[in-house]
Amino acid sequence: ETGVTQTPRHLVMGMTNKKSLKCEQHLGHNAMYWYKQSAKKPLELMFVYSLEERVENNSVPSRFSPECPNSSHLFLHLHTLQPEDSALYLCASSQDLEDRGLYNEQFFGPGTRLTVL
Amino acid sequence: DQQVKQNSPSLSVQEGRISILNCDYTNSMFDYFLWYKKYPAEGPTFLISISSIKDKNEDGRFTVFLNKSAKHLSLHIVPSQPGDSAVYFCAASAIQGGKLIFGQGTELSVKP
Protein backbone atom coordinates (compact mmCIF):
# COMPACT_ATOMS: atom_id res chain seq x y z
CA GLU A 1 0.00 0.00 0.00
CA THR A 2 1.20 3.48 -0.77
CA GLY A 3 0.04 6.95 0.14
CA VAL A 4 -2.91 7.39 2.45
CA THR A 5 -5.53 4.67 2.83
CA GLN A 6 -8.89 4.83 4.52
CA THR A 7 -11.30 2.10 5.58
CA PRO A 8 -14.12 1.52 5.18
CA ARG A 9 -14.83 3.36 1.94
CA HIS A 10 -18.56 3.39 2.62
CA LEU A 11 -20.41 3.17 5.92
CA VAL A 12 -24.09 3.23 6.77
CA MET A 13 -24.96 3.44 10.42
CA GLY A 14 -27.91 4.12 12.68
CA MET A 15 -27.95 6.94 15.18
CA THR A 16 -27.37 4.58 18.09
CA ASN A 17 -24.44 2.70 16.55
CA LYS A 18 -20.77 2.99 17.40
CA LYS A 19 -18.33 2.72 14.55
CA SER A 20 -14.77 3.74 13.75
CA LEU A 21 -13.07 5.13 10.68
CA LYS A 22 -9.47 4.16 10.08
CA CYS A 23 -6.72 6.03 8.28
CA GLU A 24 -3.20 4.84 7.59
CA GLN A 25 -0.40 6.73 5.91
CA HIS A 26 2.65 5.06 4.39
CA LEU A 27 4.57 8.26 3.71
CA GLY A 28 6.53 8.67 6.92
CA HIS A 29 4.67 11.88 7.71
CA ASN A 30 4.39 13.41 11.17
CA ALA A 31 1.09 15.26 10.89
CA MET A 32 -2.36 13.83 10.24
CA TYR A 33 -5.73 15.44 9.75
CA TRP A 34 -9.44 14.65 9.67
CA TYR A 35 -11.68 16.67 7.35
CA LYS A 36 -15.40 16.61 6.72
CA GLN A 37 -16.79 17.36 3.30
CA SER A 38 -20.50 17.98 2.98
CA ALA A 39 -22.14 18.52 -0.37
CA LYS A 40 -21.35 21.90 -1.99
CA LYS A 41 -19.37 23.03 1.06
CA PRO A 42 -15.66 23.58 1.64
CA LEU A 43 -13.62 20.91 3.30
CA GLU A 44 -13.95 21.50 7.03
CA LEU A 45 -10.95 20.73 9.18
CA MET A 46 -11.97 18.69 12.21
CA PHE A 47 -8.80 17.57 13.98
CA VAL A 48 -5.04 17.90 13.58
CA TYR A 49 -2.43 15.62 15.08
CA SER A 50 1.29 16.28 15.11
CA LEU A 51 3.59 13.51 16.34
CA GLU A 52 0.56 11.71 17.82
CA GLU A 53 -0.48 14.74 19.84
CA ARG A 54 -3.75 16.50 19.09
CA VAL A 55 -2.96 20.10 18.30
CA GLU A 56 -6.29 21.30 16.99
CA ASN A 57 -9.93 20.54 17.57
CA ASN A 58 -12.17 22.76 15.49
CA SER A 59 -15.20 22.83 17.79
CA VAL A 60 -16.17 19.34 16.76
CA PRO A 61 -19.03 17.72 18.74
CA SER A 62 -17.98 15.09 21.25
CA ARG A 63 -19.81 12.38 19.30
CA PHE A 64 -16.66 12.44 17.12
CA SER A 65 -13.63 11.15 19.00
CA PRO A 66 -10.22 10.96 17.29
CA GLU A 67 -7.38 8.68 18.26
CA CYS A 68 -3.80 8.67 17.02
CA PRO A 69 -1.94 5.67 18.46
CA ASN A 70 1.16 6.31 16.35
CA SER A 71 2.26 8.61 13.57
CA SER A 72 1.03 6.23 10.86
CA HIS A 73 -2.50 5.61 12.10
CA LEU A 74 -5.45 7.82 12.81
CA PHE A 75 -8.93 6.78 13.89
CA LEU A 76 -12.22 8.61 14.14
CA HIS A 77 -14.61 6.96 16.59
CA LEU A 78 -18.26 7.69 15.95
CA HIS A 79 -21.02 7.48 18.55
CA THR A 80 -24.68 8.53 18.47
CA LEU A 81 -24.34 10.48 15.26
CA GLN A 82 -27.06 12.56 13.65
CA PRO A 83 -28.31 12.40 10.05
CA GLU A 84 -26.66 15.77 9.38
CA ASP A 85 -23.31 14.11 10.07
CA SER A 86 -23.67 12.24 6.79
CA ALA A 87 -20.73 13.37 4.65
CA LEU A 88 -17.44 12.35 3.12
CA TYR A 89 -14.75 12.07 5.80
CA LEU A 90 -11.26 12.61 4.51
CA CYS A 91 -7.98 11.86 6.19
CA ALA A 92 -4.79 13.63 5.16
CA SER A 93 -1.16 13.71 6.19
CA SER A 94 1.76 16.07 5.72
CA GLN A 95 5.47 15.86 6.42
CA ASP A 96 5.23 18.17 9.38
CA LEU A 97 2.70 20.64 10.66
CA GLU A 98 4.67 23.54 9.28
CA ASP A 99 6.63 22.44 6.27
CA ARG A 100 7.48 25.62 4.48
CA GLY A 101 9.36 23.86 1.71
CA LEU A 102 6.34 21.96 0.52
CA TYR A 103 3.89 24.76 1.21
CA ASN A 104 2.08 22.51 3.66
CA GLU A 105 1.16 20.07 0.94
CA GLN A 106 -1.23 17.53 2.35
CA PHE A 107 -1.82 14.10 0.90
CA PHE A 108 -5.38 12.90 1.10
CA GLY A 109 -6.91 9.48 1.37
CA PRO A 110 -9.93 8.49 -0.76
CA GLY A 111 -12.35 9.20 2.05
CA THR A 112 -15.13 7.31 3.81
CA ARG A 113 -18.65 8.06 2.58
CA LEU A 114 -20.74 8.02 5.76
CA THR A 115 -24.51 7.84 5.81
CA VAL A 116 -26.34 8.16 9.12
CA LEU A 117 -29.91 6.90 9.08
CA ASP B 1 -17.35 33.73 7.63
CA GLN B 2 -15.74 32.00 4.69
CA GLN B 3 -12.13 33.11 4.27
CA VAL B 4 -11.58 31.36 0.94
CA LYS B 5 -14.28 31.59 -1.68
CA GLN B 6 -14.77 30.01 -5.05
CA ASN B 7 -17.82 31.75 -6.40
CA SER B 8 -18.33 29.60 -9.45
CA PRO B 9 -19.67 26.17 -8.50
CA SER B 10 -19.19 24.88 -12.02
CA LEU B 11 -17.41 25.65 -15.29
CA SER B 12 -17.77 24.05 -18.70
CA VAL B 13 -15.02 24.39 -21.32
CA GLN B 14 -14.37 22.94 -24.75
CA GLU B 15 -11.39 20.64 -25.15
CA GLY B 16 -8.31 22.55 -26.27
CA ARG B 17 -9.50 25.87 -24.87
CA ILE B 18 -8.35 27.60 -21.70
CA SER B 19 -9.98 26.88 -18.34
CA ILE B 20 -9.79 29.65 -15.75
CA LEU B 21 -10.78 28.87 -12.18
CA ASN B 22 -11.00 31.72 -9.71
CA CYS B 23 -10.53 32.01 -5.98
CA ASP B 24 -10.86 34.97 -3.60
CA TYR B 25 -9.66 35.24 -0.03
CA THR B 26 -10.19 37.68 2.79
CA ASN B 27 -7.37 36.99 5.24
CA SER B 28 -4.29 39.09 4.49
CA MET B 29 -2.22 36.74 6.69
CA PHE B 30 -2.42 33.96 4.12
CA ASP B 31 0.94 33.47 2.47
CA TYR B 32 0.68 30.11 0.74
CA PHE B 33 -1.95 29.12 -1.75
CA LEU B 34 -2.60 25.71 -3.20
CA TRP B 35 -4.87 24.10 -5.74
CA TYR B 36 -6.17 20.59 -5.30
CA LYS B 37 -7.97 18.45 -7.83
CA LYS B 38 -10.58 15.87 -6.85
CA TYR B 39 -12.08 13.09 -8.93
CA PRO B 40 -15.26 11.35 -7.77
CA ALA B 41 -14.65 8.60 -5.18
CA GLU B 42 -11.07 9.82 -4.63
CA GLY B 43 -9.45 12.19 -2.18
CA PRO B 44 -8.12 15.57 -3.34
CA THR B 45 -4.66 15.53 -4.91
CA PHE B 46 -2.23 18.41 -4.82
CA LEU B 47 -1.89 20.19 -8.15
CA ILE B 48 0.12 23.39 -7.85
CA SER B 49 0.97 26.02 -5.28
CA ILE B 50 2.25 29.56 -5.01
CA SER B 51 3.92 31.59 -2.30
CA SER B 52 2.85 35.16 -1.63
CA ILE B 53 6.28 36.39 -2.70
CA LYS B 54 5.46 35.37 -6.25
CA ASP B 55 2.70 36.38 -8.62
CA LYS B 56 2.91 33.44 -10.99
CA ASN B 57 3.87 29.79 -10.89
CA GLU B 58 3.77 27.51 -13.89
CA ASP B 59 3.86 23.74 -14.15
CA GLY B 60 3.20 22.33 -17.59
CA ARG B 61 -0.36 23.12 -18.64
CA PHE B 62 -1.16 24.58 -15.22
CA THR B 63 -0.40 28.16 -14.17
CA VAL B 64 -1.47 29.84 -10.97
CA PHE B 65 -1.63 33.64 -10.78
CA LEU B 66 -1.74 35.58 -7.53
CA ASN B 67 -2.95 39.16 -7.18
CA LYS B 68 -2.27 40.08 -3.57
CA SER B 69 -3.76 43.55 -3.74
CA ALA B 70 -7.04 42.08 -4.97
CA LYS B 71 -6.74 39.00 -2.73
CA HIS B 72 -7.43 36.90 -5.76
CA LEU B 73 -5.84 33.91 -7.37
CA SER B 74 -6.64 31.97 -10.46
CA LEU B 75 -5.72 28.65 -12.01
CA HIS B 76 -5.27 28.50 -15.76
CA ILE B 77 -5.31 25.21 -17.60
CA VAL B 78 -4.27 25.33 -21.22
CA PRO B 79 -5.01 23.44 -23.31
CA SER B 80 -7.86 21.84 -21.39
CA GLN B 81 -8.32 18.10 -21.75
CA PRO B 82 -11.30 15.86 -20.91
CA GLY B 83 -9.19 14.21 -18.20
CA ASP B 84 -9.06 17.57 -16.43
CA SER B 85 -12.76 17.23 -15.61
CA ALA B 86 -12.86 17.22 -11.80
CA VAL B 87 -13.61 19.42 -8.82
CA TYR B 88 -10.87 21.97 -8.13
CA PHE B 89 -10.34 23.29 -4.62
CA CYS B 90 -8.42 26.40 -3.77
CA ALA B 91 -6.73 26.41 -0.34
CA ALA B 92 -4.71 28.90 1.68
CA SER B 93 -2.57 28.85 4.78
CA ALA B 94 -0.89 31.45 6.96
CA ILE B 95 2.69 31.68 8.20
CA GLN B 96 1.93 30.47 11.69
CA GLY B 97 0.64 27.01 10.95
CA GLY B 98 -0.07 24.25 8.50
CA LYS B 99 -3.81 24.63 8.66
CA LEU B 100 -5.32 24.82 5.21
CA ILE B 101 -8.51 26.77 4.62
CA PHE B 102 -10.38 25.43 1.61
CA GLY B 103 -12.82 26.98 -0.77
CA GLN B 104 -16.01 25.16 -1.66
CA GLY B 105 -14.70 23.93 -4.99
CA THR B 106 -15.44 24.47 -8.67
CA GLU B 107 -16.53 21.55 -10.82
CA LEU B 108 -14.79 21.73 -14.20
CA SER B 109 -16.21 19.86 -17.16
CA VAL B 110 -14.09 19.69 -20.30
CA LYS B 111 -16.12 18.58 -23.28
CA PRO B 112 -14.55 16.81 -26.29
pLDDT in tens, B15-73: 999 999 999 999 998 988 999 999 988 899 999 999 899 999 999 999 999 999 999 99
Give the pLDDT of chain A (117 residues) as one tens digit per residue: 579 999 999 999 998 889 999 999 999 998 899 999 988 788 898 998 988 888 777 789 999 999 999 989 999 999 999 999 999 999 999 887 665 544 467 899 999 999 999
Asked if A34 and A89 touch (Cβ cutoff 8 Å), the reply is: yes
Of all residues in chain B, the one with the smallest CA distance to A108 is B43
Specify the pLDDT at position A98: 62
Radius of gyration in angstroms for the set of CA atoms belonging to chain A, rounded to a whole number? 14
Of all residues in chain B, the one with the smallest CA distance to A101 is B51
Q: How far apart are the first and last CA of chain B?
A: 38
Please indicate whether, in this complex, the C-beta atoms of A104 and B44 are within 8 angstroms of each other. no
More confident residue, B95 or A56: A56
Specify the pLDDT at position B100: 84
SS3 B54: coil
Long-range contacts of B44-48 (CB under 8 A, 24+ apart): B44/A43, B44/A90, B44/A108, B44/B89, B45/A107, B45/A108, B46/A105, B46/A106, B46/A107, B47/B75, B47/B88, B48/B75
Q: Is B14 on the interface with A (CB under 8 A)?
A: no
Sort out which chain B residues have CB atoms less than 8 A from A40's CB and list them.
9, 104
- Name the percent of chain A in helix, strand, coil, to the closest 5: 5, 55, 40
| Cα A51 from Cα B45, distance rounded (Å) | 23
| Cα A72 from Cα B34, distance rounded (Å) | 24
Q: Is A66 on the interface with B (CB under 8 A)?
A: no
Please indicate whether, in this complex, the C-beta atoms of A104 and B102 are within 8 angstroms of each other. no
At A69, which amino acid appears? P
For A81, counting Cβ atoms within 10 Å of its Cβ (0-12 exposed, 13-18 middle, 19+ buried), the class is buried
Please indicate whether, in this complex, the C-beta atoms of B43 and A105 are within 8 angstroms of each other. no
Q: Is A8 on the interface with B (CB under 8 A)?
A: no
Please indicate whether, in this complex, the C-beta atoms of A43 and B89 are within 8 angstroms of each other. yes
Sort out which chain A residues have CB atoms less than 8 A from B93's CB and list them.
103-104
Please indicate whether, in this complex, the C-beta atoms of A110 and B51 are within 8 angstroms of each other. no
Specify the pLDDT at position A40: 75
